[in-house]
Chains A and B, each alone.
Chain A
Amino acid sequence: ELKVEQNPLFLSMQEGKNYTIYCNYSTTSDRLYWYRQDPGKSLESLFVLLSNGAVKQEGRLMASLDTKARLSTLHITAAVHDLSATYFCAVSGAGSYQLTFGKGTKLSVIP
């Protein structure tokens, strides 16, 4: 059974600071996704990471994947209030359609 663990689950940070969210998964994976969810809203796809060493960046967010360590990171650079949301990583097992989601990291950026 594929398990996905995120940490931290809650993160409060000041504007302008850097931080990293971690996502560990338990078995071989084809793809890893990062989603963002604002309160009361839907999930928005941020990144999909397909191969070892993959790195993707969008604005102040950068995601990376280490398939050997079964670890993905979402790095936040110089946080701004607009980044406050819950971030989920989701992993699909090898050859599988099914996404297994982590519990999410609730990020609050404080001015």
Chain B
Amino acid sequence: DAGVIQSPRHEVTEMGQEVTLRCKPISGHNSLFWYRQTMMRGLELLIYFNNNVPIDDSGMPEDRFSAKMPNASFSTLKIQPSEPRDSAVYFCASSFSAQETQYFGPGTRLLVL
């Protein structure tokens, strides 16, 4: 299995631009998680999907962030408009079920200038 796939791996954008991060979970996994990692706050859960349905988005920082999972093999995290404080590494993780081991993708390093 290829593992969790994320794209792009690196993104540099200017403040105010829209950013879309993409994730393909491991085939057969029904749970998908988006995390953000920063030096100051560590790893934070942004949103959790189960069977393509958003279950918990309480970690989404504000309305500028949105996430979708249109099918079992694809999810997006969108930031619009982006701000410099959004600069971080964004990880997608998937698991066979909600309480199984989460497998992380390689991450997207986002820099907002």
Contacts and interface: CB of A to CB of B under 8 A. Distances in A.
Real binding pair: yes
Interface of A: 30-31, 33, 35, 41-45, 48, 88, 92, 96-99, 101-104
Interface of B: 31, 42-43, 45, 48, 50, 55-56, 91, 93, 98-99, 101-107
Nearest to B93: A43
Contacts of B42: 101-104
Contacts of B107: 41-42
Contacts of B48: 97-98
- Tell me if A's interface is mostly helix, strand, loop or mixed: strand
Nearest to B92: A42
A-B pairs, 7 with minimum CB distance: A97-B98, A101-B43, A43-B104, A42-B104, A42-B106, A45-B101, A103-B42
A48 B95 CA distance: 13
Contacts of A41: 106-107
Nearest to A31: B99
Contacts of B105: 42
Contacts of B106: 41-42
Contact of A99 (B45, B55, B56, B103): B45
Given A42-B91, A42-B107, A33 B101 contact: yes
